[in-house]
């Protein structure tokens, strides 16, 4: 069966009058051309589209979004019973006014789609809509840093990661929140990778000049060390290691804090978090190293030492395995971004947990 005869994954872009046109139409331009534009731009012959992208809103009536830009929805939310992905585009809110009682029709629809198995994503202030829907209760989430106080005061069940670009949460990682406005690009690449494969994500970066993903994994992918609630002993260790990741013998010290035998501790830690204890420590250390590379000009060896690695060669090897780039290349790629526009929405936590093949063995 050809791609044209196969039902394509449907991606619905949820918009409102408060939506930025750059987010709505940027996502539409990129996602609606996946599979087709790369062959057209390289061979002159368009390929087969791989995603079915629609714009939806509370009603199907045309309206003007932020900046007086016209939006003509393909569907009203009540006209769609199913979709594969919902992306809540940014919906501007004053920093002191939560969207209580607003977007009721849209929120009811988002909750129905999530209950039916859809991936639900948001960009920037779109995470407020997911919080208002209750979908972020008990989870971490990304969003614009300016709304951290709003999350704290009005959505205390959600831990807002103000420095995150992307954060995955929920059953099967079906809730994906993106940081500030321009994080729609990272969200688009993540969804293309998830729905269409890494090759299509790489092709998209080449056409739209969004980023370089030649390393296989998105270089800006980082671990989100979510605290779990099932095991108090492990929970305490997660809190402790977040501040003491650079110490020597971290796993032995965590086990000692719990009073458990090392093998029992290792089993319970992996059961609760999905990680072997040392893998978890490696992941946290590398994320801290990334932040140092992004924001400081200190030497790579010093950074390795600061996060807990005495052997510079081992640190470089592990960093490249986790980030897809050497520390020096990572700094060249991202330090300038942090110094400019993405300073408000970069990464110290956020994005998906890497699979075990990307983590150095103990």
Q: Which of 141, 108, 110 is nearest to 125 (CA)?
A: 141
Looking at the DSSP assignment, which residues form a beta bridge with residue 54?
A: 12
160 and 292 part of one domain: no
Task: Work out the mean pLDDT of the chain and round it to a whole number.
Answer: 85
Query: What's the rounded mean pLDDT across residues 215-223?
Result: 42
Looking at residue 2, what is its pLDDT? 44
168 and 247 part of one domain: no
Inside any domain, residue 223:
no
Among 195-204, 288-297, 333-342, the minimum mean pLDDT is found in 333-342
Looking at residue 3, what is its pLDDT? 44
Among 188-192, 210-214, 231-235, the minimum mean pLDDT is found in 210-214
Inside any domain, residue 218:
no
Inside any domain, residue 157:
yes
Q: Within a 13 Å sphere around the CA of 117, how many CA atoms are in the beta-carbon half?
A: 4
Query: What's the rounded mean pLDDT across residues 262-267?
Result: 93
103 and 173 part of one domain: yes
Inside any domain, residue 225:
no
Query: What's the rounded mean pLDDT across residues 56-71?
Result: 96
DSSP annotation of 217 reads S
Looking at residue 272, what is its pLDDT? 86
Q: Which residue has the higher pLDDT, 2 or 74?
A: 74
DSSP-derived secondary structure for 296-336: ----HHHHHHHTT-S-HHHHHHHHHHHHSS-HHHHHHHHHH
| Cα–Cα distance, 310 to 313 (Å, whole number) | 9
Please tell me whether residue 268 adopts helix, strand or coil conformation.
Answer: helix
The sheet with strand 10-14 has its strands ordered as 75-76, 52-57, 10-14, 85-88, 119-123, 175-178, 166-169
Tell me the C-alpha to C-alpha distance, in Å, between residue 20 and each of 67, 142, 178, 209, 348. Answer: 8, 18, 15, 21, 26
Contact 42, 27 (CB under 8 A): no
Inside any domain, residue 215:
no
Among 17-21, 87-91, 105-109, 217-221, the minimum mean pLDDT is found in 217-221
Q: Work out how many domains the chain is built from and give that number.
A: 2
User: pLDDT per residue over 158-201, tens digit each?
Assistant: 998 877 888 999 999 999 999 887 889 989 999 999 999 988 98
CATH code of the domain in which 280 resides: 1.10.10.60
Q: Which residue has the higher pLDDT, 224 or 257?
A: 257
Query: What's the rounded mean pLDDT across residues 335-340?
Result: 51
Inside any domain, residue 214:
no
Looking at residue 61, what is its pLDDT? 97
CATH code of the domain in which 77 resides: 3.40.50.880
Residue 221 has pLDDT above 90, yes or no: no
Inside any domain, residue 295:
yes
Domain assignment of residue 38, given as a range: 3-208
């Amino acid at each position: 069966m050809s791609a044209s005869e196969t039902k394509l994954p449907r991606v619905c872009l949820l918009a409102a009058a408060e939506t930025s046109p750059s987010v709505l139409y940027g996502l539409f331009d990129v996602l609606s051309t996946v599979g087709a534009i790369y062959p057209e731009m390289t061979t002159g012959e368009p390929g087969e589209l791989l995603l079915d992208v629609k714009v939806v809103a509370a009603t199907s009536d045309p309206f003007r979004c932020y900046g007086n830009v016209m939006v003509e929805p393909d569907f009203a939310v009540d006209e769609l019973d199913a979709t594969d992905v919902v992306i809540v585009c940014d919906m501007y809110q004053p920093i002191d006014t939560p969207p209580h009682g607003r977007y009721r029709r849209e929120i009811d629809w988002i909750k129905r789609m999530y209950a039916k198995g859809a991936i639900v994503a948001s960009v920037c202030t779109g995470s407020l809509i997911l919080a208002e829907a209750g979908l972020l209760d008990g989870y971490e989430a990304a969003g614009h840093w300016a709304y951290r106080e709003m999350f704290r005061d009005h959505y205390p069940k959600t831990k807002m990661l103000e420095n995150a670009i992307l954060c995955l949460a929920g059953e099967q990682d079906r809730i994906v929140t993106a940081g500030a406005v321009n994080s729609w690009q990272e969200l688009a690449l993540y969804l293309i990778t998830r729905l269409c494969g890494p090759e299509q994500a790489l092709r998209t970066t080449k056409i739209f000049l969004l980023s370089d993903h030649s390393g296989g994994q998105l270089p800006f992918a980082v671990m989100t060390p979510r605290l779990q609630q099932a095991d108090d002993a492990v929970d305490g260790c997660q809190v402790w290691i977040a501040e003491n990741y650079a110490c020597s013998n971290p796993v032995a010290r965590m086990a000692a804090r719990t009073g458990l035998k090392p093998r029992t501790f290792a089993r319970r830690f992996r059961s609760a978090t999905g990680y072997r204890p040392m893998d978890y420590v490696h992941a946290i250390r590398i994320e801290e190293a990334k932040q140092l590379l992004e924001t400081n000009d200190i030497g790579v060896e010093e950074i390795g030492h600061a996060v807990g690695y005495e052997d510079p060669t081992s640190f470089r090897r592990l960093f490249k395995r986790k980030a897809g780039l050497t520390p020096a290349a990572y700094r060249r790629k991202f330090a300038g971004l942090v110094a400019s526009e993405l300073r408000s929405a970069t990464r110290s936590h956020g994005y998906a947990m890497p699979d075990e093949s990307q983590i150095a063995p103990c």
